[in-house]
Amino acid sequence: MSGPGELTLTSIVLFTLGAYGIAAGAASGEQGVVAVGVFAFALFVLGIIWPIVMLSGVGMEAWAPADATVGEPHDVHVRLFGRVARVELRLLDPPGEWRVTASPANGIIPRVPARRGVFSGLRFELRTSAPLGVFVRSRVMHVVLPMDQAVAPRPLISAAPTEATPHRLYERLPDGAVAVTSTATPGLGDSVRSVRPYVAGDSARLVHWPTSARRGTLVVREHEPPGIVGVALVVDLDVTFDDAERIASRAAGIGRATLAAGGAVWCCTGEASGPVSARVVDQRDLGRRLARACAGPVGAPPSGWPVIVVTA
Amino acid sequence: MSPPASPTSERLWTRGSPWRVVAVPVTIALAAVGAIAASRVGVPLVFGALAGGTAALLGVFALPSLSTRRVVVVLLGLAGLGALRHASYSGSDTSPLLLCWAAATLVALLLVDRTGAEQVKPLALGAPLASRSGEVFRLSVTTAVIVAVAVVALGPTLTQHLGRHVWPGVDPSIGDIQSASTTLRNTDELDMTQRPHLSDRVVFTVTAPRPEFWRGETFDLWNGHAWTQSGPPATSVPHVGDTSVIRPEADDVGAFTGPPMRQTFHLESGFSDVIFAAPSPVSVEADRLVQQRDDGTASVVEGFGTGATYTVTSRSILSTESSLRAADARPVPASVRRQFAQEPTTTPRVRKLARDITASAPTTYDKIRALEAWMGAHVRYSIDAPIAPRGVDVVDDFLFRSRLGWCEQVASSLVVMARSVGIPARLATGFVPGTRDALTGQFTVRERDAHAWAEIYFPGVGWQPFDPTASVPLAGDTSTNVSWLETARNHAVEFGLIALALVLAVVAAPDVIAWARRRRARRRSSWAARRLARLERIGRRAGRARAPSETPREYADALAVHLHDARLRTVGETLDADGFSLVGAPPSARADADAVLSSL
């Protein structure tokens, strides 16, 4: 894919001199005037052809991390092929800052993703006006990445769901409507599972005195591990574009906070392949799930999980 | 290219700013144009150069609110307009200044673009740009060669095929008329007792298919010290549009039967009312009223000025020695014999000398050759020859006393001696063909090319030019007095090609040395290293270069996938085995790998 480029003020000056010189010189037979005109016109033509030829021989490869987040910068490694004394390049989507280099070259361009999604390639714009600055030849190249890049939504700062969170079970009715049907309570983590002999370092508060008295040795209580603080996120993006991105960002914020607090996250989304309902392993997994999420029927949440229907 | 921020004079003043460097060629370009303009109006060149240079510096440095890039481009455009304006009618004197302007403009454009690129942030870890001076030098040479080829290829084509063959030029001033040399003025008399003042100034350029004597006038009456014309005064020639038909002399056979030759004259001198042409003109295209004499020469009523262009079509028979010898079989027309073969005014010993020299020559042609040969052996050419005293026959004085003279004495002696033995002859004046420009194909004629020669009449052929001066050696020192500047000018193309070859050699030297080193290193390297290099070349051609982190085996595996050729995996294994095992790869494996690589 390539664009045409643009003429500069220099090109206008050279073209005017060239056209006037050739016309006046040819009319008067003045070799000197013709020479000056041809000189200017040759520079004009050369200044257009040179960048076109140079840029047509440039090839490109790029590597970007498989996971990225909207608004968080990451490096894109690029490799330029073909010999060009001077070429400027920048990333598009969103347009980044121009960088100049000679080609062939390897280099790094910082990128701040602006859009959530899964991307198989990146768009670069290359340009050069070398050597005369007559014509700025630009070219847009779509470079396929070795592996897709999943760009997660920018997480909105959210608190992890607690007991006070109104847990609601989510149900998709046969007619497609969504309804909240019940609530659930997770484990608290303070019930006694068994007792064991005291070892140095055990808190005195854990000593189970009745059993210690009965056995004649110190015995301490062992508690059940705390119950999982889990949440099932229902991320339905079948809304307007802006709302969809806001929902995704909010889901990312809730999910991250939950995971950071040691909780579990179940994510119900709709993807291009159909509805998906699965537990996310970590923040990266959450990001990928939300990157792939799109409008469409979402997966059903698991029974017994507190459900949050994320809204805009 | 638009840099992120518009470069202004604020940046210009920053220490180390590349825009300061740009100011240098811009100043040179404007100074060159200023000098050209000064030469046009007769002011010392240095004043023009100073004015141009100062204007450039003021423009670049003193306009803080404007983008330096734009100011530079506008200044270069103005300089270009100045070059166009003053490239007309400037002759070759300003060519070095025009070249200087062109080179400075080219370098300025390169520097402006380079400077713009330097304002952009470099790619992190990317390849650095070539050094500014190196890049500008290399690109200047390359661009100059391409542009020079374009100028050489297109210039003559444009002027010859697209150009008009008639152009009025500038009206001559009184000063131009008064300062014009006698050769450029239509006169009735050629005084042999005056020494010509010849300079290197370009008189005119001629676009013609072959070199010829550019004849202006002929003279047929000799009185011992001056030539005059016996015919009636010139009469106006009827014209259709710009074309005037010249009526040739009735007995000038070549003017009726010879092949036509078209010549376009472009006047560089300030004035001329003589229409120069290869003999014998049959039509003239000019924007002035043309008049002609009975001898077939033409002139214009109001003289031409600088830049005037006119085109002449001439006809003459291209003769050979045999055709001229055979011409004696036909009788000379009575009118020609009466006007051009009458007994000349000269001394008896000149007549006797002519008879003695030609006594054994059987034909007219041989007689003329004998006279030329005698003069070649007995007289010498010198522009500083003494002027014959008043009252003394100039030809006699030249042949018997001084034996030193310039073209007028030499040619006059031939005409007088030819007439002494009954051969119809006359004196012609004009210019020799001049220097042919190898680039443009034009003949450049200077004041010092002014010449006089003899024209001899041959029945059935017409008037044929003979140049006895060519047979006459230079007087005194045989070394030429050509200055180094003139030598350089005459051999500009050769010098230019040599300089270009040297520049290319210098530019290409690093690459050639690097290539030779690589080649030598390849020869010294191991089998595995050579084959790996070959594999890398194959990969590069296929668009899959080897990453620095890839081992040969990994690279071969990747190429096997990329090129859909599983044999490359074996090549990778062999390269690994050969490079890293003590015994190396077995010969059969090497041969297999060679076969695979050769097949790719």
B304 and B443 share one domain:
yes
Q: Which two tokens stand for residue A150?
A: 């999943």
pLDDT at A165: 39
C-beta atoms of A17 and B90 within 8 A: no
Q: What distance in Å separates residue B157's CA from the closest CA in chain A?
A: 9
User: What does the DSSP assignment read for A125-170?
Assistant: EEEE-TTTSSEEEEEEEEEEEEEEEEEEPPPPP-PPP-TTS--B-E
- What residues of chain A lie within 8 A of the CB of B121, using their CB? 97-100
Find all residues with CB under 8 Å of B563, minimum gap 6, and list them. Answer: B538, B542, B600
- What residues of chain A lie within 8 A of the CB of B163, using their CB? 25-29, 34
Query: Domain boundary residue among B99, B119, B139?
Result: B119
B110 and B196 share one domain:
no
Kindly report, residue by residue over B523-563, the tens digit of the pLDDT.
Answer: 667 788 888 888 988 888 888 888 877 888 889 998 888 88
Instruction: Give the alpha-carbon dihedral of A68, A69, A72, A74, to 10 degrees.
Output: 10
Kindly report, residue by residue over B513-531, the tens digit of the pLDDT.
Answer: 888 887 777 666 778 888 8
Q: How far apart are CA B439 and CA A205, in angstroms?
A: 108
C-beta atoms of B1 and A136 within 8 A: yes
Of B367-371, B486-490, B582-586, minimum mean pLDDT range: B486-490
B115 and B179 share one domain:
no
Residues linked to residue B429 through DSSP beta bridges, in sequence order: B217, B452
Top-confidence residue, B301 or B5? B301
B343 and B214 share one domain:
yes
Q: How far apart are CA A112 and CA A232, in angstroms?
A: 30
- What residues of chain B lie within 8 A of the CB of A27, using their CB? 163-164, 167
Q: How far apart are CA B260 and CA B245, in angstroms?
A: 14
Residues linked to residue A308 through DSSP beta bridges, in sequence order: A233
Whole domain around residue B594: which residue ranges? 525-599
B445: three-class secondary structure by DSSP: strand
- Substitution target from B113, B119, B507 for chain A, most A beta carbons within 10 A: B113
C-beta atoms of A85 and B120 within 8 A: no
> What does the mean pLDDT of chain B come to?
83
Q: Which two tokens stand for residue B469?
A: 């001066």
C-beta atoms of A42 and B146 within 8 A: yes
Top-confidence residue, A165 or B468? B468
Q: Per-block average pLDDT, block size 10, for chain A (312 residues)?
A: 74 91 73 82 92 90 92 92 89 89 90 91 91 91 92 82 43 41 41 82 88 90 69 88 89 89 88 90 92 90 85 74
Q: How far apart are CA B9 and CA B64, in angstroms?
A: 5
Residues linked to residue B283 through DSSP beta bridges, in sequence order: B245, B313
B13: three-class secondary structure by DSSP: coil
Find all residues with CB under 8 Å of A199, minimum gap 6, and list them. Answer: none
β-sheet with B202-207: strand ranges across: B239-240, B243-245, B281-285, B309-315, B260-267, B202-207, B443-446, B435-436
Q: Which two tokens stand for residue B57?
A: 């510096």
For residue B571, being part of any structural domain is answered with: yes
Phi/psi at A294 (5° precision): -150, 175
For residue B168, being part of any structural domain is answered with: no
**Locus of tokens 């079509």:** B313
Amino acid letter, residue A248: A
- What residues of chain A lie within 8 A of the CB of B73, using their CB? 8-10, 13
Q: What is the ipTM of this complex?
A: 0.72
Amino acid letter, residue B327: A
- What residues of chain B lie within 8 A of the CB of A13, using their CB? 73-74, 76-77, 80
pLDDT at B93: 59
- What residues of chain A lie within 8 A of the CB of B165, using their CB? 29
Q: How far apart, in Å, are the Cα atoms of A160 and each of A23, A246, B115?
A: 79, 18, 54
Task: Report helix angle B132-157 to B492-524, nearest 10.
Answer: 130
The number of folded domains in chain B is: 3
pLDDT at B498 over 90: no
pLDDT at B161: 62
pLDDT at B64 over 90: no
Q: How far apart are CA A230 and CA A254, in angstroms?
A: 11
pLDDT at B484 over 90: no
C-beta atoms of A109 and B123 within 8 A: yes
pLDDT at B134: 84
Q: With DSSP H G I counted as helix, E B as strand and the rest as coil, what are the percentages for chain A, rounded to 5?
A: 30, 35, 35
Q: How far apart, in Å, are the Cα atoms of A166 and each of A158, A162, A185, A186?
A: 15, 9, 10, 12
| Partner residue opposite A42 with nearest CB, options B81, B150, B442 | B150
| Partner residue opposite B4 with nearest CB, options A24, A98, A104 | A98
Amino acid letter, residue B351: R
For residue B136, being part of any structural domain is answered with: no
B343 and B466 share one domain:
yes
Residue-wise over B541-564: b if at least 16 C-beta within 10 A, else e?
Answer: eeebbbeeebebbebbbbbbeeee
Of A245-259, B183-197, B201-215, minimum mean pLDDT range: B183-197
B105 and B192 share one domain:
no
pLDDT at A163: 43
B272 and B386 share one domain:
yes
Query: Domain boundary residue among B474, B505, B540?
Result: B474
C-beta atoms of A105 and B127 within 8 A: yes
- What residues of chain B lie within 8 A of the CB of A135, using their CB? none
| C-alpha atoms less than 13 angstroms from C-alpha of B393 in its C-beta half-sphere | 18
End-to-end CA distance of chain B: 42
How many helices (H) does chain A have, and how many strands (E)?
A: 5, 15
Supply the pTM of this predicted model. Answer: 0.56
pLDDT at B351: 92
pLDDT at B88: 60
Residue of chain B minimizing CA distance to A133: B113
B106 and B205 share one domain:
no
Under 8 Å CB pairs connecting chains A and B tally to 207
pLDDT at B168: 80
B83 and B204 share one domain:
no
pLDDT at B364: 93
pLDDT at A238: 85
pLDDT at B564: 85
Q: How far apart are CA B453 and CA B431, in angstroms?
A: 10
- What residues of chain B lie within 8 A of the CB of A26, using their CB? 158-159, 162-164
Q: How far apart are CA B270 and CA B203, in angstroms?
A: 8
For residue B29, being part of any structural domain is answered with: yes
Residue-wise over B227-261: b if at least 16 C-beta within 10 A, else e?
Answer: bebeeeebeebebeebebbbebbebbbbbeebeeb
Kindly report, residue by residue over B144-163, the tens digit of the pLDDT.
Answer: 888 888 777 776 666 666 66
For residue B150, being part of any structural domain is answered with: no
| Partner residue opposite B442 with nearest CB, options A31, A81, A107 | A31
For residue B323, being part of any structural domain is answered with: yes
For residue B188, being part of any structural domain is answered with: yes
Mean pLDDT of B575-592: 82
Amino acid letter, residue B18: P
| Partner residue opposite B90 with nearest CB, options A28, A32, A79 | A32
B530 and B469 share one domain:
no
- What residues of chain B lie within 8 A of the CB of A128, using their CB? 1
pLDDT at B164: 62
Kindly report, residue by residue over B91-118, the tens digit of the pLDDT.
Answer: 445 678 888 889 999 999 999 888 888 8
End-to-end CA distance of chain A: 37
pLDDT at A171: 40
Q: How far apart are CA B68 and CA B65, in angstroms?
A: 9
pLDDT at B3 over 50: no
B467 and B534 share one domain:
no
Q: How far apart are CA B486 and CA B455, in angstroms?
A: 31
Q: What distance in Å separates residue A252's CA from the closest CA in chain B?
A: 32
Q: What distance in Å separates residue B65's CA from the closest CA in chain A?
A: 18
pLDDT at A150: 93
B218 and B277 share one domain:
yes
For residue B364, being part of any structural domain is answered with: yes
pLDDT at B188: 84
Kindly report, residue by residue over A14-43, the tens digit of the pLDDT.
Answer: 999 998 888 877 766 667 778 888 889 999
pLDDT at A14: 94
Q: What distance in Å separates residue A144's CA from the closest CA in chain B?
A: 14
